[in-house]
């Protein structure tokens, strides 16, 4: 009997991608052949997202696409959208199997039981494997030994969120905070380092809360232990809450020289009144203090954030406060999102929703600022030497370049000449940065000294 073929598609965040990689490994071990989502497969697994109504719609579209790829295939919908809309999905009968969060580790067993129960030519009712995520304290035991990226490995060490921001559905789809055992984290990092991954990226749904459910361990403790893993060259941190950035935390963090000076601190608004309606737990003053601490201990740190334009009730005056505040704090990158109504959240029921056209205008103002700030930040590197982790060969204006990222997550390209044919993917080189190829890409020459 030939191997069953399984195809995966991931929507949403890096945590989802990690969980897909883990499910792929589980099915490979169970004897499945993993193929591209575009190919004909026996099983299609869509790891869904539910962060916005648009993400829900995209999840439904991908379920339909899988059915078109092979009408006879078993369609599995997994993840956050399933957790949020189990009953609706079961009624629609578009997916054969529903797998909620904290059940992805059982994917092989779920499929085995489904195939065993399936009678030829008979309709099988939708199988639902969804737990009440809000009442579990179990951290789902998923582990990876390889990832789809070639140079950096994203590893999930935390799940769940206790914040309940008024615009967000994720605490309801991911449950309360849960942390991976630190011994298992270190074992996973060692395995990935042995496979040749030089950069480890720590991710979670609310990474800053890592360890709070374990009692004695903290995020800083785990970072310090990963620092000791010999073959790891870089440790990059996923999104952090501003309140974790204290003088004490950063004093210790800066001693870990493998930690990349690239910090994503979620902001969402530069206006205190708006932050209150969002149920964010800090003020703009506290956020700015966190930035000042990072800038005190790191030279030219890459500070990035997310901002929502046109949140419910945002007046022109409030938007102007946000605009002026963002101009003042001057970050490297700002991911600007127009507020999108999410069913099932408190914000959906609030009065004062901002017209779509106004949201668009405000986001365009912030996007223009973000572009300026990014260029100014990257200009600082011209004439400097920086270590670059090489990722891929690209072609620009008829020339070939090897491009990669600095520790600050700035993209840099090196022109490939006859002398540079020995450059390899996943190699760290020193680059003498000379200027811009285009507005989004610095370039330079390989330097022999640092």
Residue 427 is part of a domain; what is its CATH number?
A: 2.40.50.140
**Is residue 311 domain-resident?**
yes
Q: Is 268 left (phi over 0), alpha (psi -120 to 50) or beta?
A: left
Tell me, what's the pLDDT at 121? 61
* Same domain, residue pair 24 and 55: yes
348 φ, ψ (degrees, to nearest 5): -60, -35
pLDDT one-digit tens code per residue, 380-424? 999 999 999 999 999 888 889 999 999 999 999 998 876 656 788
Q: Total domain count for the chain? A: 3
Tell me, what's the pLDDT at 419? 61
How many angstroms separate the CA atoms of 109 and 122, rounded?
21
pTM above 0.85, yes or no: yes
Tell me, what's the pLDDT at 36? 95
Radius of gyration, CA atoms only, the chain: 23
Of 229, 219, 225, which is closest to residue 193 (Cα–Cα)? 229
* Same domain, residue pair 48 and 103: yes
Tell me, what's the pLDDT at 198? 94
* Same domain, residue pair 170 and 280: yes
The residue segments making up the domain with residue 223 are 150-378
**Is residue 144 domain-resident?**
no
Domain end point (choices 378, 395, 421) = 378
**Is residue 167 domain-resident?**
yes
* Same domain, residue pair 154 and 235: yes
**Is residue 290 domain-resident?**
yes
Q: How far out from the chain centre does Cα 319 lie?
A: 27
* CB distance 411 to 418 below 8 Å: no
Residues in Cβ contact with 398 at an 8 Å cutoff, skipping those fewer than 6 apart: none
Q: What residue has token string 């499945």?
A: 32
Tell me, what's the pLDDT at 102? 95
User: What distance, in Å, lies between the first and last C-alpha atoms of the chain?
Assistant: 57
Q: Beta strands 199-204 and 428-438: pairing type?
A: unpaired
Tell me, what's the pLDDT at 248? 98
DSSP state of 83: H
* Same domain, residue pair 199 and 109: no
pLDDT, mean of each 10-residue run, the chain (450 residues): 90 95 96 95 96 92 94 95 92 91 96 85 81 91 84 94 95 96 97 94 97 95 97 97 97 98 98 98 98 98 98 98 98 96 93 97 98 97 96 89 96 81 87 92 83
* Same domain, residue pair 112 and 210: no
* Same domain, residue pair 42 and 79: yes
Residues in Cβ contact with 394 at an 8 Å cutoff, skipping those fewer than 6 apart: 400, 401, 403, 413
* Same domain, residue pair 402 and 303: no
* Same domain, residue pair 164 and 310: yes
* Same domain, residue pair 426 and 374: no
């Amino acid at each position: 009997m030939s191997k069953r073929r399984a195809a995966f598609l991931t929507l949403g965040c890096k945590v989802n991608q990690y969980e897909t990689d883990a499910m792929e490994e589980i099915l490979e071990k169970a004897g499945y052949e993993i193929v591209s989502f575009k190919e004909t497969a026996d099983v299609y697994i869509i790891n869904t997202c539910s962060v916005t109504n648009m993400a829900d719609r995209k999840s439904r579209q991908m379920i339909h696409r899988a059915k078109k790829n092979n009408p006879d295939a078993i369609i599995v919908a997994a993840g956050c959208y399933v957790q949020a809309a189990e009953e609706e999905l079961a009624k629609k009968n578009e997916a054969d199997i529903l797998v909620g969060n904290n059940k992805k580790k059982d994917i092989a067993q779920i499929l085995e039981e489904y195939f065993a129960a399936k009678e030829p030519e008979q309709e099988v009712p939708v199988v639902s494997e969804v737990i009440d995520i809000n009442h579990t304290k179990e951290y789902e035991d998923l582990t990876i030994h390889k990832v789809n990226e070639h140079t950096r490995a994203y590893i999930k060490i935390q799940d769940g969120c206790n914040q309940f921001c008024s615009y967000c559905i994720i605490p309801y789809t991911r449950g309360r905070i849960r942390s991976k055992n630190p011994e298992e984290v270190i074992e996973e990092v060692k395995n990935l380092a042995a496979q040749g991954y030089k950069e480890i990226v720590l991710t979670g749904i609310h990474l800053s809360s890592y360890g709070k459910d374990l009692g004695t361990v903290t995020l800083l403790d785990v970072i310090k232990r990963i620092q000791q893993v010999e073959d790891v060259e870089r440790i990059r941190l996923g999104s952090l809450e501003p309140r974790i950035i204290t003088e004490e935390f950063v004093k210790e963090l800066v001693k870990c020289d493998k930690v990349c000076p690239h910090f994503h601190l979620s902001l969402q608004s530069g206006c205190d009144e708006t932050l209150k309606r969002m149920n964010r737990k800090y003020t703009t003053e506290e956020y700015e203090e966190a930035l000042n601490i990072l800038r005190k201990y790191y030279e030219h740190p890459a500070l990035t954030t997310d901002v929502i334009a046109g949140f419910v009730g945002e007046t022109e005056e409030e938007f102007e406060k946000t605009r002026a505040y963002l101009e003042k704090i001057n970050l490297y990158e700002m991911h600007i999102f127009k507020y999108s109504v999410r069913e099932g959240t408190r914000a959906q029921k609030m009065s004062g929703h901002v017209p779509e056209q106004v949201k668009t205008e405000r986001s365009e103002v912030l996007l223009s600022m973000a572009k300026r700030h990014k260029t100014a930040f990257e200009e600082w590197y011209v004439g400097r030497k920086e270590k670059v982790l090489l990722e891929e060969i690209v072609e620009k204006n008829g020339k070939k370049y090897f491009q990669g990222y600095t520790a600050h997550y700035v993209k840099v390209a090196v022109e490939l000449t006859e002398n540079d044919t020995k450059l390899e993917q996943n190699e760290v080189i020193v680059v003498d940065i000379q200027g811009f190829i285009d507005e989004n890409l610095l370039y330079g020459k390989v330097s022999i000294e640092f």
